[in-house]
Amino acid sequence: MTAHRQLHLGAFMRPAAIHTGAWRYPGADPEANFSLDQMRRSIRRLEEAKFDAFFMADHLALLNMPMSALRRSHTVTSFEPFTLLSALAMETDRIGLVATASTTFDAPYHIARRFASLDHISGGRAGWNVVTTANPDAALNFGQEIQADHDERYGLAREFVEVVTGLWDSFADDAFVRDRESGIFVDPDRIHVLDHKGPSQAVRGPLNIARPPQGWPVIVQAGASEAGRQLAAETAEVVFGTPSSIDAARAFYADLRQRMAAFGRHPGALRYLPGAFIVVAPTQEEAEDRRARLDSLVHYESGIGSLNSMLGYDVSGFDPDGPLPEIPETNAGRSQRERMVALARSKDLTIRELAQAAGAYGGFAFVGTPASIADEMAEWLTSEACDGFNVMFPWLPGGLDDVVDLLIPELQRRGLFRRDYQGRTLRDHLGLERPSNRFF
């Protein structure tokens, strides 16, 4: 069974843990977000464990939360992804390097050039997490008083991806002749001028860097709204997500594959890696105790800040021990908003309880022993609920070490996860084909 199909594992880094109580956990590094030494240690351990990729999330503003929440949260600030991943590329040889970059507040030429550079620097290990930026405060940092409409952002993103991939195809793979005798460095007949003129972008090209080693860095996307699913089905090669259960994940993945067929894409061109918060320990009781201790460190102020960010709406002025009010539609991200509203309604949670869940990462989690978690992961994989997981660690460095030292050996023992890399590029790790050049 597993000899033919194994898990793919990404490491979700922000760059540190997503849980708002993580920095307070005994033994945790409270300076992890801005500690290059801690990031170097983390990625080395992940590469030793043969993880597919180190995934660097990003935000273009402090998350939209009051200052009382900001003073308690370690998740709102972090390194700029390209700077960090370029440095970490020098510390590693195989693990993939996925950076988040916005299609709303950047230019296609910038994005194409940065990712092509990272792919060359790393020897073909770059991936682009395509985001449209849901935080309305980000708009204010880029001279926009009003955030663009949700569906409009995704429409712009589709054209943006088309331009970026077109720029990556500016040079044929054999364009650089470098013939000393003739003095010919590059063949101009093997260079394509994109000359794109579309509804939102006008980009001449060509890109001023050779075609990336992978052809294109791997395209990653995480949107779960209707518009997000359509963008993923048309363009993504890896999709992250936050399903509430194995059944929800299975339905989401089936929906994506069906949408891909409408675009003429084979389902084998996509890997689905839902997010999984993992707390692993030698015994079930110890794992549950660790999770409970971690959750107890979430302060209401940081929890309400996380909740406001997910909802795209400030509920801090309402009675914390009352029900969640009706949340109006906004232009912020929809999938997280819908997930938190559904959680509140289904479990009749107060705002305080919902804030606790938001601050403690209320998404899907594996909490247990190496054997129990491996059992669950195997069920997800074999029932076509996923191709693997984007792992969220409870704290650094200990929570990451537990996954590497306890869970990974168990997965490897069962044949569920690789013991060594079989290639050098991120596409090799994921089993994705290198895209052909559309112009040559």
Predicted confidence at residue 180, as pLDDT, reads 96
Q: Are residues 342 and 413 in the same domain?
A: no
Kindly state the helix (H) or strand (E) to which residue 60 belongs, with its residue range: none
Specify which residues 131 forms β-bridges with: 102
The predicted model gives 363-382 an average pLDDT of 96
Reported as half-sphere exposure (CB side, CA atoms, 13 A), residue 434 has a value of: 17
Least confident of 27-31, 174-178, 308-312, 316-320: 308-312
The predicted model gives 97-118 an average pLDDT of 95
Q: Are residues 347 and 229 in the same domain?
A: no
Confidence of residue 158 (pLDDT cuts 50, 70, 90): very high
Q: Are residues 77 and 205 in the same domain?
A: yes
Q: Are residues 177 and 317 in the same domain?
A: no
pLDDT in tens, 287-305: 999 999 999 998 888 778 7
Residue 15 clears pLDDT 70, i.e. is over it? yes
Instruction: State the residue range of the domain holding 175.
Output: 8-279+365-430
- Residue that is last in its domain, among 359, 394, 410: 359
Least confident of 21-25, 133-137, 220-224: 133-137
Identify the CATH number of the domain in which residue 66 sits: 3.20.20.30
Q: Are residues 104 and 82 in the same domain?
A: yes
The DSSP-derived string for 263-278 is: TT--GGG-EEEEEEEE
The percentage of residues in the chain with a pLDDT greater than 70, rounded to a whole number, is 94
Specify which residues 197 forms β-bridges with: 202
The predicted model gives 338-364 an average pLDDT of 82
Predicted confidence at residue 354, as pLDDT, reads 85
- Are the CB atoms for 166 and 127 separated by under 8 Å? no
For residue 438, is it within any domain? no
Q: Are residues 146 and 218 in the same domain?
A: yes
- Residue that is last in its domain, among 313, 339, 359: 359
Is residue 314 classed as helix, strand or coil in its secondary structure? Answer: coil
Instruction: Let me know how many helices (H) and strands (E) the chain has, helices first.
Output: 16, 13
pLDDT in tens, 139-154: 787 887 776 777 788 8
| 79-82 CB contacts, 8 Å cutoff, 24+ apart | 79/15, 79/33, 79/34, 79/39, 81/56, 82/114, 82/118
pLDDT in tens, 62-81: 765 556 656 666 766 788 99
The rounded distance, in Å, linking the Cα atoms of 163 and 161 is 5
- DSSP class of residue 59 equals -
For residue 2, is it within any domain? no
Residue 98 clears pLDDT 90, i.e. is over it? yes
- Are the CB atoms for 192 and 163 separated by under 8 Å? no
The predicted model gives 183-202 an average pLDDT of 96
Confidence of residue 2 (pLDDT cuts 50, 70, 90): very low
Kindly state the helix (H) or strand (E) to which residue 306 belongs, with its residue range: helix 300-311
Q: Are residues 54 and 138 in the same domain?
A: yes
Sign of CA dihedral 140, 141, 143, 144: negative
For residue 306, is it within any domain? yes
The residue assigned the tokens 């000899």 is: 3
For residue 3, is it within any domain? no
Sign of CA dihedral 273, 274, 277, 282: negative
Q: Are residues 227 and 325 in the same domain?
A: no
Q: Are residues 160 and 31 in the same domain?
A: yes
Confidence of residue 282 (pLDDT cuts 50, 70, 90): very high
Residue 110 clears pLDDT 80, i.e. is over it? yes
Of 267, 228, 269, 256, the closest CA to residue 435 belongs to 269
- Which two structure tokens, joined as six digits, stand for 15? 């760059």
Predicted confidence at residue 68, as pLDDT, reads 60
Query: How many domains would you assign to the chain?
Result: 2
Of 431, 435, 434, the closest CA to residue 4 belongs to 431
Average of per-residue pLDDT values in the chain? 91
- What is the biggest distance separating any 2 CA atoms in the chain, rounded to whole angstroms? 79
Confidence of residue 331 (pLDDT cuts 50, 70, 90): low
pLDDT in tens, 219-277: 999 878 899 999 999 999 999 988 889 999 999 999 999 999 999 999 999 999 999 99
For residue 439, is it within any domain? no
The residue assigned the tokens 């972008």 is: 201
Tell me the pTM. Answer: 0.90
Is residue 226 classed as helix, strand or coil in its secondary structure? Answer: helix
Confidence of residue 373 (pLDDT cuts 50, 70, 90): very high
Confidence of residue 286 (pLDDT cuts 50, 70, 90): very high
Predicted confidence at residue 374, as pLDDT, reads 98
Predicted confidence at residue 3, as pLDDT, reads 47
- Residue that is last in its domain, among 309, 344, 359: 359
For residue 311, is it within any domain? yes
Q: Are residues 370 and 341 in the same domain?
A: no
Q: Are residues 29 and 159 in the same domain?
A: yes
Q: Are residues 202 and 331 in the same domain?
A: no
Kindly state the helix (H) or strand (E) to which residue 171 belongs, with its residue range: none
For residue 342, is it within any domain? yes
- Are the CB atoms for 89 and 45 separated by under 8 Å? no
For residue 285, is it within any domain? no
